[in-house]
Chain A
Amino acid sequence: MPRYEPWNADRAGEIIARHRHEEGAALPILHELQATFGCVPEAAIPLMAEVLNLSRAELHGTVTFYHDFRKEPPGRRVLKLCRAESCQAMGSDALAARAEQKLGVEMGGTNTDRSVTLEAVYCLGLCHSSPAAMLDKHVYGMLDQDKLDRLIDEAQR
């Protein structure tokens, strides 16, 4: 279960320093920052820019280009529902609507007790067993209403 650290500039500096000599270090750094703090904190950008010898604008452009990188930490758990064609063919639109209604959020939102962030994902590579979902790093296939309900209950627990 993800537990994130509060923002700490020294900790961020340590992560950046560890990757600085890698070729194309930006993505590995951003991934590790997000794994540590639950998001890419705004304050990390100038630190990264300094070390990687890039402009803040350039880095801001990179961070915001990718769907993965968050501005705010997510809920305690992240539930991703596949919305791509293969899952559509097996009724994922109805499951997505049900999840939104049960959690009281839209795709991309976090419920009020911040237990779950619900996100759309475009393919988990489990198209042989559509509809598919991912709760944190665990995958689920052949979903139906009952299985989805159980997954949402588990996520909220």
Chain B
Amino acid sequence: MSVRIYISRDSGALCVGAQEVAMQFFKLAEQKGLDIEIVRTGSRGMYWLEPLVEVARPEGRVGYGPVKPSDVEELIGAGMLDGKAHRLSLGLVEEIPFFKSQTRLTFKHCGIVDPRSLEDYKAHGGYKGLAKAIEIGPEATVEEVVNSGLRGRGGAGFPTGIKWRTVAATPQQQKYIVCNADEGDSGTFADRMIMEGDPFVLIEGMTIAGIAVGASYGYVYIRSEYPDAVEAMEIAVRAARAGGMLGKNIAGSKYDYDMEVRMGAGAYVCGEETSLLESLEGKRGEVRAKPPLPAHVGLFGKPTVINNVLSLASVPIIMIDGAEFYKNFGMGRSRGTMPIQLAGNIKHGGLYETAFGITLRALVDEVGGGTRTGRPVRAVQVGGPLGAYFPRELFDTPFDYEAFTAADGLIGHGGIVVFDDTVDMAKQARFAMEFCAIESCGKCTPCRIGSTRGVELVDKIVAGENREANLVVLEDLCHTMKLGSLCALGGFTPYPVMSALTHFPEDFGAKKKRLEAAE
């Protein structure tokens, strides 16, 4: 009987050589006449173990990793196909503590299913959420999502169900579902993982959204920096259409829904929802003033549900297991699970899905295992380039929308970038302003001009030029940007800047200044 082995085709695995490992298995299987079947899956999210090779055994999938092409022959010789031990043995993959301690809801099938096979997705329980939505009808579906407490996973944390209800209530005939897959935040890769590892769950979530609000067409807007995700989604959309799960009378129901993949063109600001809509319309990705909300006047002027990948990919499990089940996870007003992404200088880089409420300390020190360089952790940036820098003193902050707001930060899209003690926080603050200047759409003045003035101010402060006066100006500028910008790019850039300044004043020449004053 042929032995089934699993090797990821997720770009996070490919970037450390998974393709070469797979090719080596193919080559040796042919040479040695081995009866093996290689399934290319997504990633489990344990990237420090990639390329991870899993062998199907009666007791579960047994893992080996990280595997180099030169290890393959030795692994086969050691009896890996029978699950035998080797120095690269990891045991049962689902028993690895990093994996076992998670609550995988949105990422339930990621790293397990073949992302190109509709049949495999269905065999793992896929499309049961859609069947439920068809059975209970649009209104009950919207209410199920409202009751689940699901909030936008893109960063803003707006209740997903309320968006849906607003669009459902509009009388227009033509409505749209738009999936925001413009995952530009440094430190985040969860959307990419879903699209590459379990694209059908996203298609299913978008289809349910279409039925729920009465939209018959949708777009996934994926950033151009993700060519593998674009390809994976295109293959999955074609497979879903061929299998009757997109198009007219989906799954034999009375509902029609179809969708297509669109690619961005390297503008970070297009992750902002109104800018994304402008871009989809073929224009400059300039932010729109709100109101009107996209739910009323969205894509091509029509009512539009625009949700993040993770929000939409969480819908099928909410439909299958129910709002009550989903709502039981989490704390306060942050319900369900959050796929948290551990990045930067971290030993165990990867995706960790867990209920809201876990502390930063547990995530960084325990789950993440500290820094990869082995040096002490000095700061973490949570929520991408617009997120605040947290010092160790704030590591008891629980992962929760409100707790982070209270600590002058944001959880954003759930990315955590770890820095060791070699980091220069003034440089990071300067970069935040510089990034805003590069990526500003230019529509509003605080962001367009403020970011450039911000870079100059940080330079002056670090150089000790009118330090005290310039600190006041920088703070005032941040205040103006925060309150006066049209969108989160200009509005949130003050978070990394002010947090760096507040928690790490010594990097901005504070001590030196004090010494000079004493002399």
Binding site for B on A (CB under 8 A): 23-28, 30-31, 52, 58, 61-62, 65-69, 84-90, 121-130, 132, 134, 137-142
| A62 in contact with B283 given A67-B265, A124-B225, A139-B228 (CB within 8 Å) | yes
B100 CB → nearest A CB, Å: 19
A97 CB → nearest B CB, Å: 14
Q: Is B345 a contact of A65 with CB atoms below 8 Å?
A: no
Q: Is B344 a contact of A121 with CB atoms below 8 Å?
A: no
Q: Is A90 a contact of B345 with CB atoms below 8 Å?
A: yes
Q: A129: which of B16, B226, B381, B385 is its contact (CB, 8 Å)?
A: B16
* B interface residue count range (under 10 / 10 to 19 / 20 to 34 / 35 or more): 35 or more
A117 CB → nearest B CB, Å: 14
Determine the chain B residues whose CB is within 8 A of the CB of A87 once the complex forms.
Answer: 186
Binds A, one of B150-158, B358-366, B415-423: B415-423
Determine the chain B residues whose CB is within 8 A of the CB of A130 once the complex forms.
Answer: 343-345, 349
Q: List 15 contacting pairs A-B, 8 Å CB cutoff, sorted by A.
A: A28-B263, A31-B263, A61-B284, A62-B283, A85-B187, A86-B417, A89-B420, A125-B189, A126-B11, A126-B189, A127-B343, A128-B343, A129-B48, A129-B50, A139-B15
Determine the chain B residues whose CB is within 8 A of the CB of A31 once the complex forms.
Answer: 224, 263, 265
Q: Is A85 a contact of B417 with CB atoms below 8 Å?
A: yes
A62, B275: Cα distance in complex, Å? 12
| A128 in contact with B47 given A86-B344, A89-B345 (CB within 8 Å) | yes
Instruction: Kindly supply a per-residue 1/0 record for chain B positions 344-356, scoring 1 wherever the CB is within 8 Å of any chain A CB and 0 otherwise.
Output: 1110011100000
Determine the chain A residues whose CB is within 8 A of the CB of B350 once the complex forms.
Answer: 128
A154 CB → nearest B CB, Å: 14
Q: Is A141 a contact of B284 with CB atoms below 8 Å?
A: no
| A123 in contact with B14 given A28-B262, A65-B285 (CB within 8 Å) | no
Determine the chain A residues whose CB is within 8 A of the CB of B50 once the complex forms.
Answer: 129
Q: B265: which of A23, A68, A132, A139 is its contact (CB, 8 Å)?
A: A68
Q: Is A67 a contact of B267 with CB atoms below 8 Å?
A: yes
Nearest A residue to B432 by beta-carbon distance? Answer: A85
Nearest B residue to A23 by beta-carbon distance? Answer: B300
| A127 in contact with B187 given A27-B262, A89-B345, A122-B268 (CB within 8 Å) | yes
Q: Is A84 a contact of B224 with CB atoms below 8 Å?
A: no
Q: Is B225 a contact of A127 with CB atoms below 8 Å?
A: no
Q: Is B184 a contact of A127 with CB atoms below 8 Å?
A: no
A46, B351: Cα distance in complex, Å? 46
A143 CB → nearest B CB, Å: 9
| A121 in contact with B225 given A69-B265, A90-B344, A90-B345 (CB within 8 Å) | yes
B489 CB → nearest A CB, Å: 13
A141, B283: Cα distance in complex, Å? 34
Q: Is A141 a contact of B345 with CB atoms below 8 Å?
A: no
Determine the chain A residues whose CB is within 8 A of the CB of B417 once the complex forms.
Answer: 85-86, 89, 127
Q: Is B266 a contact of A123 with CB atoms below 8 Å?
A: no
- Tell whether B256 is near chain A: CB-to-CB under 8 Å: no
A122, B225: Cα distance in complex, Å? 9
Nearest A residue to B345 by beta-carbon distance? Answer: A89
Those of B218-236 within 8 Å (CB) of chain A: 224-229
| A89 in contact with B15 given A27-B279, A125-B189 (CB within 8 Å) | no
Determine the chain A residues whose CB is within 8 A of the CB of B458 once the complex forms.
Answer: none
- Tell whether B435 is near chain A: CB-to-CB under 8 Å: yes
Determine the chain A residues whose CB is within 8 A of the CB of B188 once the complex forms.
Answer: 123, 125, 127
| A139 in contact with B11 given A27-B262, A66-B267, A129-B16 (CB within 8 Å) | yes
A27, B16: Cα distance in complex, Å? 32
Q: Is B11 a contact of A85 with CB atoms below 8 Å?
A: no
Q: Is B262 a contact of A85 with CB atoms below 8 Å?
A: no
Nearest B residue to A133 by beta-carbon distance? Answer: B15
Q: Is A123 a contact of B285 with CB atoms below 8 Å?
A: no
Determine the chain A residues whose CB is within 8 A of the CB of B351 once the complex forms.
Answer: 128
Determine the chain B residues whose CB is within 8 A of the CB of A121 once the complex forms.
Answer: 225
Nearest A residue to B281 by beta-carbon distance? Answer: A24
Determine the chain B residues whose CB is within 8 A of the CB of A27 once the complex forms.
Answer: 262-265, 279-280, 282
The CB with the most chain B CB atoms within 10 A, among A58, A61, A85, is that of A85
| A129 in contact with B224 given A26-B283, A141-B16 (CB within 8 Å) | no
- Tell whether B199 is near chain A: CB-to-CB under 8 Å: no
Besides the known contacts A23-B281, A31-B263, A85-B381, 5 further A-B residue pairs in the complex with CB atoms under 8 A apart: A86-B415, A121-B225, A122-B435, A122-B439, A124-B225
Those of B149-204 within 8 Å (CB) of chain A: 183-189, 191-192
Q: Is A123 a contact of B267 with CB atoms below 8 Å?
A: no
Nearest B residue to A19 by beta-carbon distance? Answer: B282
Determine the chain A residues whose CB is within 8 A of the CB of B370 once the complex forms.
Answer: none
Q: Is B224 a contact of A68 with CB atoms below 8 Å?
A: yes
A32, B285: Cα distance in complex, Å? 19
Nearest B residue to A126 by beta-carbon distance? Answer: B15
- Tell whether B503 is near chain A: CB-to-CB under 8 Å: no
A97, B286: Cα distance in complex, Å? 32
A130 CB → nearest B CB, Å: 6
Determine the chain A residues whose CB is within 8 A of the CB of B300 once the complex forms.
Answer: 23-24
Determine the chain A residues whose CB is within 8 A of the CB of B12 once the complex forms.
Answer: 125-126, 128-129, 141
Q: B266: which of A66, A129, A138 is its contact (CB, 8 Å)?
A: A66
Q: Is B431 a contact of A88 with CB atoms below 8 Å?
A: yes
Determine the chain B residues whose CB is within 8 A of the CB of A139 once the complex forms.
Answer: 11, 14-15, 228
